[in-house]
Amino acid sequence: MSWLRRIALSIGILTLVTLALAGRYYYRGFYKPSRRHSSHAPSLPDIELERVNAKAALQKDWIRRHGFNTGICFLVDMRLPSGKNRFFVYDLQKDSIVLAGLVAHGSGSASFSQSPSFSNTSGSGCTSLGKYRIGYPYQGQFGRAYKLYGLDTSNDQAFNRNVVLHSWTGVPEGETYPYPICNSRGCPMVSPGFLKQLQPLMDKAGKPILLCIFD
Cα–Cα distance list, 171 to 11, 109, 112, 155 (Å): 33, 20, 14, 23
pLDDT, position 29:
45
pLDDT, position 3:
52
User: In this predicted model, what pLDDT tens digit does every residue of 82-101 receive, in sequence order?
Assistant: 999 999 999 999 999 999 99
Say what the pTM is: 0.82
pLDDT, position 109:
95
pLDDT, position 16:
44
pLDDT, position 8:
53
pLDDT, position 27:
39
Give the residue-averaged pLDDT of 170-181.
97
33 or 10, which is more confident? Answer: 10
- Sorted by where each starts, the structural domains of the chain and their CATH numbers stand as 31-214 (2.40.440.10)
Burial group, residue 52, by CB count within 10 angstroms (0-12, 13-18, 19+): buried
Q: Is the pLDDT of residue 133 over 70?
A: yes
Give the residue-averaged pLDDT of 162-169.
98
pLDDT, position 42:
60
Q: How confident is the model at residue 198 (pLDDT cuts 50, 70, 90)?
A: very high
Q: Which residues contact 76 (CB under 8 A, 6 or more apart)?
A: 86, 87, 88, 103, 188, 211, 212, 213, 214
User: In this predicted model, what pLDDT tens digit does every residue of 107-131 receive, in sequence order?
Assistant: 999 999 999 999 999 999 999 999 9
Q: Is the pLDDT of residue 5 over 90?
A: no
